[in-house]
Amino acid sequence: MSLLESISSPADVRRLRASALPDLCEEIRALITETVLRNGGHLASSLGAVELIVALLRVFDFSKDKLIFDVGHQAYAYKILTCRRGRFSTLRTWNGISGYPKRAESPFDHFDVGHSSTSLSAALGYAKARDLLGQDHYVVAVIGDGSLLNGMAMEALNCAREVNTRVLFILNDNEMSINRRVGGLAEHLARLSVHPTYLKLKEMVKEQCRLLPKGESLEGVLGKIKSQLKTILQPSNFFENLGLSYWGPFDGHDPEELEDIFRLAKLYEKPLLLHVITKKGKGYSPAEKDPARFHGVSPSTLEGKKEEVSWSAAAAEVAEAMAESDPRVVCLTAAMMEGTKLASFAKRFPDRFFDVGIAEEHMVTFAAGMAAGGLRPLVFIYSTFLQRAMDQLVHDTAMQGHSVLFALDRAGLVGEDGETHHGVLDVAWCRAVPGLTLAAPRDRRDLEFLFSHAYQNNKGPLVVRYPRGCAPAEICRAFSDSPCAPWGKAEILFEGTEWVCLGFGSTIPLLLDVRVLAAERNIPMPTVVDLRFLKPLDEVLLQHVLARHRLAVVAEEGSLAGGIGEAVAELAGRLATGVKVRRLGVPDAYVPQGTPREQREYCGLTAENVLKLFHD
Ligand SMILES: Cc1ncc(C[n+]2csc(CCOP(=O)(O)OP(=O)(O)O)c2C)c(N)n1
């Protein structure tokens, strides 16, 4: 029996001899690597946090104490050691173990995560609840250096001094976000890691672990140490300046050192930040060498399968072409250069490429400022992360009419990342923003058309939404050079009888399947309309098709509430033609993880289902 097989709960981890920990960590790494290479997931971050998690589980009792991971993509070892080893092979599959901490999954998970930089705020909230309710557990947050450099995390750090209670922030510093972390504070972290004073402080704190103070308060002893140090060198420390205590940096791959420090930290009664240095991808050499590539992996990329052109790659290619012919074109990303495929743009146009770090709010207003100043900014952002920057989209961009092109990636159901990462709210939200244009291409031809004509045809923000996955080169184009439909116009792809199916973007292939299936079943083939522009809708064409059919089915990969089906039903009501409108889309629920196909089935977005509506 392997060491790992002998562990069924955190109590077993606590019972192990310290000398067994390196072997345990190795076994955990092997299980994580094998599972992620098969199922996909976040490999490098999880491999880097193994010793940290083992040490935390040996010092704290997370059946009572609270642990909040930031993003949660580094928590696989925690899942394995908190009674989920047996189900770990189902990672990221339908009904399987989630890729992120989830309260519904385990009593050891204390806060659901997926989006970054929430852990410090949630931990402060938990700590305050504990104090006011007269409870006595510990509260710990684990945050990466990339996530720490975000505005939300900064707001929490700023608040920590006011909350002024026992809470432990562990900064898991591997010098990386997905790519290298960026910005001034990143430099500061690097300086802290090597500054002699802090290395000396680390030795002093470790010394205190051996002689845990008797009689005197820990704060008092450490306060004296620090004032001695300050008279020697007085380096500036961002965290100390905010009123937080800072200890570190410590070796994040030495479980015994970590245990000692955590035991000491338990005695500390105030907000404390422990700076721990780890290596992203630790123990798996391909990931150590190329942590960005192994940040999030999917089995197909690892098998080296030649991927068809993804929507992201197609969009990035158009951006490059635009930048070539127009020096005003610039591209922005919030720490998602890999996912949005902007590496080649960054290389070719380094002065016109901006990775702002995980800072979506800043990015959108930064882009609005650039537009106001005469540039043509392209903001590459996942739909789910635009949720962070809705106010900046409304208040700083649309309300002022700034022309910013939003390349809205992963708009729709995203598959294995699950609930936290779906891009299904953008249509409903964008519909409500005055002055904003929202469009969705069905193929690469229309994507290119929308991007390259954006600045001639559009004033104010233009959001072009496209899903995860590969982008069809052409759908329903008579000739390879037939022009796209005009700006602002919907397009009838096929004429049919009795009923019309309306869709956009990723639901167009589905509606074409409906025609095939209808022909097979001797059901009248529907008219198929690609709406293309979702705001404003092409009401002229819509009026025309609604008047000519008895039934209209709208299929959308977005939330039904506030979606395009509602807009069409509202228009049909206004026209009073008697056409019946049926809507398919994402229901009022958080769609579980699984393959995109399983998720579409869950939402009823299948050709079979559309066909059933004909007899409704
Ligand atoms: C708001 C938000 N933006 C972007 C992301 C995508 N994302 C996931 S992990 C990650 C990098 C996090 O870096 P860090 O906190 O240093 O953790 P590491 O992966 O280095 O362990 C990013 C950008 C996200 N999850 N949430």
Q: Please list the residues that pair with 148 across neighbouring strands.
A: none
Beta-strand pair 527-530/491-494: antiparallel
Residue to mutate, 115, 178, 356, ligand 1, most ligand atoms under 8 Å from C-beta? 178
Residue 388: CB within 6 Å of ligand 1?
A: yes
DSSP code of 523?
P
Tokens standing for 351? 């002065």
Cα separation, 341 vs 336, whole angstroms: 8
Buried b (16+ CB within 10 A) or exposed e, 200-214: ebbebbeebeeeeee
- Look up the pTM and report it: 0.96
Whether 34 is catalytic: no
pLDDT digits (tens, 9 = 90+) for 299-343: 766 666 666 899 999 999 999 999 999 999 999 999 999 999 999
Which atom of ligand 1 lies nearest, measured to the CA of 115?
A: 26
Query: Which pLDDT value is given to residue 1?
Result: 77
Cα separation, 117 vs 120, whole angstroms: 7
Cα separation, 510 vs 608, whole angstroms: 10
Backbone phi, then psi, for 569, in 5-degree steps?
Answer: -65, -40
DSSP per-residue codes, 337-401 = TTTTT-HHHHHH-GGGEEE--S-HHHHHHHHHHHHHTT-EEEEEEEHHHHGGGHHIIIIIIITTT
Q: With 0-12 CB in 10 A as exposed, 13-18 as middle and 19+ as buried, what is 125?
A: middle
Helix (H) or strand (E) holding 158: helix 151-163
Q: Comparing 606 with 241, which gets the higher pLDDT? A: 606
Question: Residues 51, 257, 259, 360: which is the catalytic one?
Answer: 360
Tokens standing for 152? 């939300």
CA dihedral sign of residues 358, 362, 364, 366: negative
Question: Residues 85, 92, 102, 280: which is the catalytic one?
Answer: 280
Query: Which pLDDT value is given to residue 305?
Result: 62
Residue identifier of the C-alpha nearest atom 13 of ligand 1: 177
Cα separation, 178 vs 291, whole angstroms: 8
Q: With 0-12 CB in 10 A as exposed, 13-18 as middle and 19+ as buried, what is 153?
A: buried
- How remote is the C-alpha of 578 from its chain's centroid? 43
Are 439 and 465 contacting, i.e. CB atoms less than 8 angstroms apart? yes
Q: Is the pLDDT of residue 186 over 90?
A: no
| Residue that has been written with the tokens 């690097």 in this structure | 190
Ligand 1 center from residue 116 Cα (angstroms): 6
Residue to mutate, 45, 53, 116, 363, ligand 1, most ligand atoms under 8 Å from C-beta? 116
The residues, ordered by sequence, that sit 6+ positions from 529 with a Cβ below 8 Å of its Cβ are: 490, 491, 492, 493, 500, 501, 502, 503, 541, 545
Cα separation, 533 vs 488, whole angstroms: 6
Whether 280 is catalytic: yes
Cα separation, 458 vs 403, whole angstroms: 7
Query: 3-class SS at 162?
Result: helix
Query: Which pLDDT value is given to residue 134?
Result: 98
Are 556 and 565 contacting, i.e. CB atoms less than 8 angstroms apart? yes
Question: Residues 388, 442, 444, 445: which is the catalytic one?
Answer: 388
pLDDT digits (tens, 9 = 90+) for 204-254: 787 777 777 666 777 788 777 777 766 665 567 899 999 999 998 999 999
Whether 388 is catalytic: yes
Cα separation, 611 vs 598, whole angstroms: 19
Q: What angle do CA 428, 605, 302 make, to 5 degrees?
A: 95
Which atom of ligand 1 lies nearest, measured to the CA of 114?
A: 25
Ligand 1 center from residue 71 Cα (angstroms): 6
Ligand 1 center from residue 43 Cα (angstroms): 13
Residue to mutate, 52, 71, 337, 384, ligand 1, most ligand atoms under 8 Å from C-beta? 71
Tokens standing for 311? 């929507």
- Across the range 447-453, mean pLDDT stands at 97
pLDDT digits (tens, 9 = 90+) for 485-527: 999 999 999 999 999 999 999 999 999 999 999 999 999 999 9
